[in-house]
Structures are given as C-alpha cells and as structure tokens.
Structure 1
Amino acid sequence: MSALGRINLGVSLLFVLVTLIGLALLLRQASQDVRRELLAAEAVVEYLGEVARTRPASLRPELTDNLRHIRVSWLQPGEQPKVQSESAIEHWIAERLLGSSSLVADVWPLDDGRELSIVLDPFDEIEEIQDSLLQLLLLSAFALALSLLTIRFAVRRGLGVLDELLAALNQVGAGRFDTRLQHHGLAEAQRLAGHFNAMATTLQQVQADNAELTQALLELQERERTRLGQTLHDDLGQYLSGIRAQACLLKVVADRPQQVQDTALQLDHNCERLQHGFRRLIRDLYPVVLERLELGPALQQLAADWQQAQGIRCRLLLGERLPSLPLASKGHLYRLVQEALTNVARHADASEVRIRLQRRGQGLRLLVRDNGRGTQLPLRPGIGLRSMRERSRSLGGELRLHSRPQAGWALCLSIPLEATR
C-alpha cells in the first residue's frame, strides 16, 4: 500500500472511531432525555385517564390534539385505534426505551357510546434523535471527505517532491553530479532541496578534486620515473661506466704497480659513490631504516639528513615512553613527517622547523611547526596535504592545519594508540 493509501486509511479509521464515540454519547444522552420526558408524559396519561373516568366531557379534541408525546383518540363503537406509521427501527427503539407494555393504548368508554384511547407517543422524540444522528453522520462524512481531499492535495505535493528527489538521487548515483533540485513553495521542500544541492555540489567538487588528484598523481609518477631514470643514467650509470673503464685499464697496466694502485683507489672511490647513490635512491623509494630502528631514532636520522640537505635548521623533540609501533604505522608517520618537511623546503621560506612527538594520555601527538611566511586559510590542498590527510586517516587520527600570513605553518596530528596496533 502506498503512503497516501496508508494515510487515508488511518484518517478514515480515526473518523469512524470518533463518529462511533459521538453516536454512543448522543444515544446515551438522548435516551436519558427521552426517559425523562416520557416519565413526565406517563403522569399526564394517568391524569387524562382519571379525567376520562370522572369527567369525560371535559376532554375536548382541541385541547388534546397538541399534547406532546401523548396521542388521544375518540373512537366510534367498534373502531380500532389508528396505528402511526412508524418504522421498525423507531418501534424497536421505543420498545428498548419504554418496554412493550408502555406502548399499549388505554381505552375508556364514554357515555355517548364512543371510546377514548390514550397512549404514549415517543416517536416524535425518536425522530428528533434520528435527525440528530443523521446530521452527525453527514457532518462526519463531509469532514472526512474534506480531510481526505486536503490530505491528498498536501501529500501529493510532498510525494511530488520525493519523486523529484528519488529521480535526482538516481541521476547522482549514475554519476551526474551536476543534478540540482528546483526550489518549491514549501519550506520543508526548500530545505530539502538546499541540502541536496549542497550535497551534489560537494560531490561534484570531490569528483573534480579526484580527477585533478589523479592527473597530478600521474604527473608525479612520470616525474619520479624521469628522475629515477636520470639518476640511474647520469649518476649511477656514469660510475658503472668509469668502473668498467678502470677495470679494463687494470688489464693494460698490470705490470705497472703505481698505476694499478691509483686505478684501484679510483675504483674504490667510485664504488663508494655508487653505494651512496644506491642508498639515497633506496631511501627515497622505501625507508629501510624503519625495519631496524624505532620511530624516534628513524626521525632523528631523517631530521639530520634533511637539515644537511636543505640547510634549514631542524629541531626534533621526542617525548619519553614512546610506544613501539607496527611497521605500517611507523611508515605512515615517517612519510607524513617527510612530506611535511618537503612542503617546508618547497613553500614555507623558513629558516627553522620544529618537530615534536610525544605521548598524550592514550594517544600520540605530532607537531610540525616552521617560522616561514605562512598563508591565509582555508587553502586548496595539493598532493602533499592530501597525502598527509590520507595517512592520518589510515592511522585513525585527526590532522589539523594552522597558518597565518608571516606566522608560519603548524601541523598537528593526534593519533589514538588503539588505532596503531
């Protein structure tokens, strides 16, 4: 059953219940009123019967025709009392209220041979009760019809908004993030459309950011491949070529000890340079130092190498009782600090950077702060900031960035220890 059908059914049942309660209350009150009036009428019937026995001539038709709830008839000899054409329902109600004996006519013979018939007549009152019940039923039916029409009009507008929202969600699910809802007159529909349009705008922006990030990652991959190829060709390749040439020279000058010694020294020097180049290349590709050192000593070595390479002072403060972390968590923290130092070297124009790692309650807190030029937030994040956010999310932590013009950058990362296990 549709939502509109369920609402109509619920409202109809509620109206039926209210109508039945109203009918019950009306019948109860009406029965009490009828009993009171008919009790009073019975006293009048007894009085008229007494008058009929003692002074029948005083009962004239013009006086008794307008009596309420009492029917007085003068019958000719052998004539039967006229039966009022009440319905079966009216007769049944009268019997329930008064009993069958109360509806039997009393007959008194008169001196002129006629007979006087006096009987209670509750059917006028019962007709009034029927009219009241009919008016209540008609009023309830009219109110129900009006309510159903109003609900249909109001719900149809709401369902129209929901249909538009469902269609828009299907379009968004299909990847059409430029879908927008039109504004309606209803305040709720306007808020719904506003929230949906804001969500679609965010998704569209995220899609654009993801496309931009993918393109930037591809470009970064190509740059890394180019740099790796140039390093292997220009640096390591040259040393290998020199080593090969010097090895060939050793064959030629084998009978000249001095030249053999000089060539051997050059071979040793080139091999050392080659070894340093390989270590530097491997360190850029993967921090092997994390496999044999804890995070604190690894960060000390990273800070020292970075300070020597960039010429920027780097102060590292390590707290006491630092926990032992798994290799994956150490790798994320190490890379995050490495990316933060890279951003300082590229963009901060700083002369000093401070790194602090300490334990705070049931978590770790990392702070990286420089004294560079800073910037005005919010800032559109690049690959570096996005990679740091992803690493902090992988660690289950919260990354916050603070910066002001001429006040440097501050990066704060809070990590629960349970997430690093």
Structure 2
Amino acid sequence: MKSFTRARGQAVREQSRRTLRLVRSRAHRFPSLARGRERGTGYLADDVPAPGGIRLQLNALQALCRQAFAVRLAAIVVGAPFAMTNATGGLPRYAVLAAAVLGVMGSYAMLRDWDRFGPRLLAHPTLMGLDLTFGAVLLLTASPASPLAYATVCTPLLSGLLYGWRGAGVFTGFQLTVLLMVFRAWEHRPGAGSNTLLIAGFCVGAGIIGVTLRNLLFRFGTAGQALAEATSRLAVAEAVESERARLAREMHDSVAKTLYGLALAADALAASADGADPGELERQATVVADAARLAAAESRALLSDLRRHTDLTEPDIDLLPELGSMTADFEARTDIAPVVRHRGARPVLPSTAAHHVLAIVSEALENARRHAGASAVTVELDLSANQFSLLVRDDGVGLPTPTTPAALATWTRSGHFGLLGMTERAACVGGLVTLARPREGGTEVRLTLPLPSVALPAPPTSQEEAAHA
C-alpha cells in the first residue's frame, strides 16, 4: 500500500509538472499568453503570463475547470433525452446517441481524473473544438430552451480559463455560430429567438469571466511569489543582522575583555621592568601569558560555537553553581567578593536563557569594577512560577546620566557596547533589562524574564551565600 501511494504521488507530481510546462508553452499557439499588458490596447489585450511558481494557482484553475465540466455533465445528462426525442429514426438518432455518450464520457473523464486528461486538453485545443461539435449535434436536435443550451455556456468558460483571450474569442465565436444555426433550425418555435439570444449573451459573458478569473489567479500567483521572495530576503537579512549582533556581544563579553586585561597586564609589566626584582617580573609575565592563553581559548570557543549546529536537547542549567564559579574568578582577579542571594525555587533555566543571564551578570560585574569603582556587589535571584528576576547592585559612583534610550544610544556611539549587549541579550529570551540609580547610590541592573513554561521544584528556604563559597 505504501509503495502504491508513493507511486501514485510521483505520478501526480509528474502530471503537475507536465501541466506547468504546457501552460508556459502556450505562447507558440496563443502568443498573448506570454505577453504582459500592452500599452494602448486596454484590459482586453492583457493575458497574464504564468508566473514561475504557480502550483497553487494551477490547483485553483483545475478546480474551476472541473466544476465547469461537472455542470456540463449534468446538463448533458438532463438534456440528452430531449435531443433523442426530437431526433428522427435511423442515422440521426444514432449520431445524437453517440454525441451524448461521448459528451458524458469526456466530461466525466475530466471531472474524475483531471491530472491525467487535463494536460492533453491544454496541449491540444482541437479537443475543445471536438467537444463543441458534439454539443452542436445535441443542440441542433434539441430546442434552445432545453438544458443542453446551458451546456454550451461551459465551452467559452473553459476556453477562457485554459487558453486566455485568444482561445476564448475563437471558441466563443464558434459557439455563437452554432447558436445561429440552432436558431435557424428552430425559428418556427415561439420563444426560440429570445432563448437563443439569452444563451448567446451567457456564452460571451462566460468567456470574459473565464479569462478574468485566469488572469486574476496568475496575478495573485505573481504577487504571492514576489511577496515570498521579499519575505525570504528580509528573513535572511534579519538573520544576518541578528548573527552579527550576537557575534558582537560574544566578542565584547569574552575576547574583548580578556584582551583589555592583557593590555593592562602588559602595561604593568613594562612599568615594572626597570628596577623590579626577577620574581615580580616573572609574576607579571605569567599574568600576561595566562591572559593570552585565555584570549586564545575564548576565540576558539567562539569559533566552535559559530560552526556547531544548534542542539535543542541541551539540558537545563542550574545558575547557582555557575554564578559561584563566575564570582569566585571575579574575586580572584579584582579582590571584590560579590554576594549571591536567591529566593524561591532553585534557579534552573533552559540553556539558552541561562547563557544570556550569566553573560548579563558578567557584564554587570565588569561595569561595577571598571566604571563604577565599586567595593561591594550583590547579586539577587528570584524564581517564581512565571517569572525570573535578577538584580545586580553595587556601591559605586552610579550612572552618570539618566538611563533613557537616548542615553543608551549615546553610550553606544561613544564605544560602550556593554549596556547595549545586555538589553539585546534580554530581548533574545523575551526579557527586559532596566538600569537605575538608587537613592543610597550605586547602580542597579535588573533583569525580568517571563518563564510561564518552566517547571519549578519545591522552593527551599531563603538563603544567602558568598560567591566564593
């Protein structure tokens, strides 16, 4: 069964591709199909060319054609008895019977298996002329007031849907000629003229409607394709811009800071070169070497992160051990011992969110040391059922200006990208970073992160722990 379904799907796709090629190749039979709007010729000269990706439009066009064949099939089935009753015996009756059977078979075949027979109708417009001939035989033997008259309306509609203005004009003209012959044959019956005129008007209107629907479908296809291409280009541009911003944040939070420390260590080594004892020089050189190795390791880690594929199955991260390691290293480098407090549940976050939270804490600690001149830093964590809160507070000099978006833009233009990186990291995980200067002085960096889908363990009692513990 699976192999049959697969083979059937391949056959349908092949028929769709063949139909697409046939629609595009109509130019050699009906040149208007390959031409856009011609200036000065008006709307009736416009046959919209098939766009490059019209699979959806072809499906809609096929559905319309199948509905037209369904109406035509019903009209022939209902009107064929009228034609058989009016036909004389012998050869005329057999001709009417053959035309009715062939008309029913053709309409049912198109309705039942368009994917198989539709491409042949597209490739050979003469088949539509043969269908028109069968309808003419039936209509000549039946009156214009019979249901067969309404079956004739389907021919201009189908020719407009399939072949455009040229095809609709040709087959509508043939259909009007047939109606004129029918009128000549039935003009002695009362009401034949009005019925024929009514059906003729329907034929002209059906041809116009068919071409209009065809052009609208292809216009929508072209517009949809252009919109999809523009959306794709915009998505690529946004992805590139997002990756550039992420790379800038990672460079700032890792390699740039290490290189800055390396430069300070090198300056200290140069300053102590004259008159310093060998032990001090060796210590300074060791600091420089360690900083250089750290910068190389961070560069390799950054490159590895750029090349690796995203792993959606990474385990959640407990922030407390990570913060303990981070603040212990910070204390060893700066002699500032941050204090970590947490309330509520244990702060276990998804790996992506935890990575951004740790980077924000690291940036806040560096700002407290480098720019604020702080001597004490406190990190507070609070994880509830639907929100994670982080507060980093120091006792430094505080922010020099109000923390407005304009001030943030000014700091960024002056080369201070850390605050911008924190706000971008928070936005990446749906959070918000706010900066404040409390009344007692210093700086507060607050991160609020909604976590509605995080399952929380049972909350422990409130505790306070030193970062180096």
- TM-score interval, smaller chain: 0.3 to 0.5
Give TM-score, length-normalised by structure 1.
Answer: 0.42
Is the radius of gyration larger for structure 1 or structure 2?
1
Higher relative contact order (CA 8 A, sep 6+): 2
